[in-house]
Amino acid sequence: MGHVTRWGRLGPVAVLAFAGLLTPAGPAVAAPDCAPAARTVVPDLPWAQQWLRPQRIWPLTRGEGVTVAVLDSGVDGQVRQLRGRVEPGLDTLTGGRADTDCLGHGTFVAGIVAAGEQPGVGFTGLAPQARVLPLRVTADNEHPPSEAALAAAIRVAAQRGARVIVVGTPVVRAGAQLRPALEEAEAKDALVVVASWGSTQQEVPVDPWVAGRVLSVGGFDREGGLVSGTAAPVDLMAPGAAVLSLGPRGSGHVVADGNGYAAAYVAGAAALVRAHHPRLTAAQVKQRLLATSDRVPREVPDPQLGHGALDLYAAVTAVLPAERGAAAAAVPVPPAVVARPQPVDDRAFRVATVVAAAAGGLTLVMVSVTLAAPRIRRRRARAR
pLDDT digits 0-9 by tens, 185-220: 999 999 999 998 754 445 566 789 999 999 999 999
pTM, rounded to two decimals = 0.80
Q: How far is CA 174 from CA 187, 196, 237, 303, in A?
A: 17, 15, 23, 21
Is residue 172 within 8 A of residue 207, CB to CB? The reply is: yes
pLDDT value for 123: 97
pLDDT reported for residue 52: 97
147-159 and 178-187 helices, crossing angle to 10°: 20
Residue 295 has what pLDDT?
75
How far apart, in Å, are the Cα atoms of 102 and each of 30, 144, 212, 248? 13, 16, 33, 7
The whole-number pLDDT of residue 10 equals 34
Q: Specify burial of residue 277 (Cβ count, 10 A radius: 0-12, 13-18, 19+).
A: middle
pLDDT tens, per residue, the chain with 384 residues: 445 666 554 333 333 333 333 333 333 344 457 898 989 999 999 999 999 999 999 999 999 999 999 999 999 999 999 999 999 999 999 999 999 999 999 999 999 999 999 999 999 999 999 999 999 999 887 788 999 999 999 999 999 999 999 998 888 889 999 999 999 999 999 999 999 875 444 556 678 999 999 999 999 999 888 886 555 678 999 999 999 999 999 889 999 999 999 999 999 999 999 999 999 999 999 999 999 998 766 677 887 788 999 999 999 999 999 887 533 333 333 343 333 333 333 333 333 333 333 333 333 333 333 334 445 554 544 444
Backbone dihedral region for residue 53 (phi beyond 0: left; psi -120 to 50: alpha; all else: beta):
left
What is the structure's pLDDT at 2? Answer: 45
Give the pLDDT of residue 13. 36
